[in-house]
Structure 1
């Protein structure tokens, strides 16, 4: 659920095209400042509030989608 949307958010904020479900945000050059943009976009799209801890523990689109599903359940 939402892996493609999260991958697209990563593409936009990191200005890259090579993102899949297992792409690690930090390995692709993301940092804590850029992570705020991801969290903001995720909050708008999925209507959830995630913490930095959530994001740092789940830095791939697939892992983050699982966290969102868990929060929404």
Structure 2
């Protein structure tokens, strides 16, 4: 999906990177490749990320969960 590709581009992460799958898990996404507004907001809150740089910084921590 276009939105995920744009997010990956912003994060400078390949869309096949396992951390993107882990991000979807963290956001409790109901549908692969898509985030609802509620899923997105909940996930970012859980990650303490309100900017792209903060989200990028949080990605390595997902691998440890």
Instruction: State TM-score, norm by structure 2.
Output: 0.34
Looking at secondary structure, tell me which structure has more helix per residue.
2
Higher relative contact order (CA 8 A, sep 6+): 1
Instruction: State TM-score, norm by structure 1.
Output: 0.32
